[in-house]
Amino acid sequence: MSGNGGKARALFKATSTPLSSIFGSGFLVIVPILAGAVGVYAVPTMALVCGLAYCVGSVVRFNIAKAEPALEGQPKESTLAFERCSDLALVLAYIISVCLYLHILSAFVLGSVHLDKGINEDLLTTTIILLIIAIGVTKGLDGLSILEDWALAITLLIIVLLLGGFALYDLHTWQSAKGLTFFEAKPHSVWEMLTIVAGTLIVVQGFETTRYLGEEFDSRTRIRASRLSQLISTGVYLVFIAVALPLVHTLDGHYDDNSLIQLAAAASGLLVAPLVIAAALSQFSAAVADTLAASGNLEEVTNNQLKLKFGTVLVGSGAIGLAWLADTLEIVALASRAFAFYYFLQCLVAISVSESRARQLFFALVAAALAFITIFAVPAS
């Protein structure tokens, strides 16, 4: 019994990391992005995005089972080269995601007091990044990693509150004389919709984190955790978007990075403060986690020549530079492209390891979809 209990606890702990990453920023921005891109077809579109993400997750899980043992032995030159390139690509993706998380944090905090104008978001984002760099250089960021568990718990709590608030709003509106009111989507061509939706991959990113938890969990636990995190997040996202759509008309066609605040306020003013607090904590925690991950990857790929604290400076500096060059929705698309490129390289790793033609074909098809995202994804307009 204790053995089964230990396995269950390990699975729960291993699942919390990818789940925290998947929900890190996605639920905060996905509704306005999809509403602006595909309108009332947001739910089936999200199902397609999650379906593609699950296929990519299958590649990551295959690499946990097959590529990791191969890399520990005498791997093919192609396998080793693809893996090293993907490590570098992941560092770049993490730098972009650090900027994204903190830009969203700034948008929600400033938006709650109507100060999200001009350069205010960039200034607050830069200030927080400088704080993270200072802590990383002087004390190290490991002490802040405890925020991850708290951030996940609070994020899940606010998601439940929002689901309840939106569902009650929908029910009361449906029972009223007016009935439910749905919005009219902006006119987009099929190509525009495809490229905008391609830029949302970042909202389901995070399942790959189990690939790098080998020192804490065995491969079977990490594979199950990756799969479970994707199934849970898919269910939550689909329900969340479905209950949020009847409130989107309150945005009057203006879809901003912090529009969820307006949707929460439309359902109940009591939801706004918890939403902003959850956004601030979850985004700060996710930024710290990705700064640590990127710095650790830099240390590894340089054979420990670049120490962790200097890696933190490089990661933070890159994030600051990006903060002043792009707005939140542009960074969302850029992060999606960066992670798509990382996943593309992981597909190449899987193809080089696999001996099954059918699997190689599947991995190649997934790689083609990821190449499309890497090249053509654009920000929501």
Per-residue pLDDT reduced to its tens digit, 220-272: 999 999 999 999 999 999 999 999 999 998 888 888 888 999 999 999 999 99
Is 259 domain-assigned? yes
Give the global pTM. Answer: 0.92
Is 266 domain-assigned? yes
Is 305 domain-assigned? yes
Write out the residue range of the structural domain in which residue 213 sits: 2-376
Q: Round to whole Å and give the CA distance between 227 and 224.
A: 5
At 73, the amino acid letter reads: G
pLDDT of residue 167: 94
Name the domain count of the chain. Answer: 1
pLDDT of residue 16: 85
Is 336 domain-assigned? yes
Is 381 domain-assigned? no
Place of tokens 């990075």: 257
Q: Would you state the structure tokens that stand for residue 83, as one six-digit string? A: 């893996």
DSSP string, 124-161: HHHHHHHHHHHHHHHT-SGGGGGHHHHHHHHHHHHHHH
pLDDT of residue 1: 43
pLDDT digits (tens, 9 = 90+) for 295-346: 888 887 787 777 778 888 999 999 999 999 999 999 999 999 999 999 999 9
pLDDT of residue 362: 97
Is 239 domain-assigned? yes
What CATH code is carried by the domain that includes residue 238?
1.20.1740.10
Name residues of the chain where pLDDT drops below 70. 1-4, 145, 177, 381
Q: State the Cα torsion 147-150-151-157 to the nearest 10°.
A: -170
Is 265 domain-assigned? yes
Q: Which residues contact 92 (CB under 8 A, 6 or more apart)?
A: 338
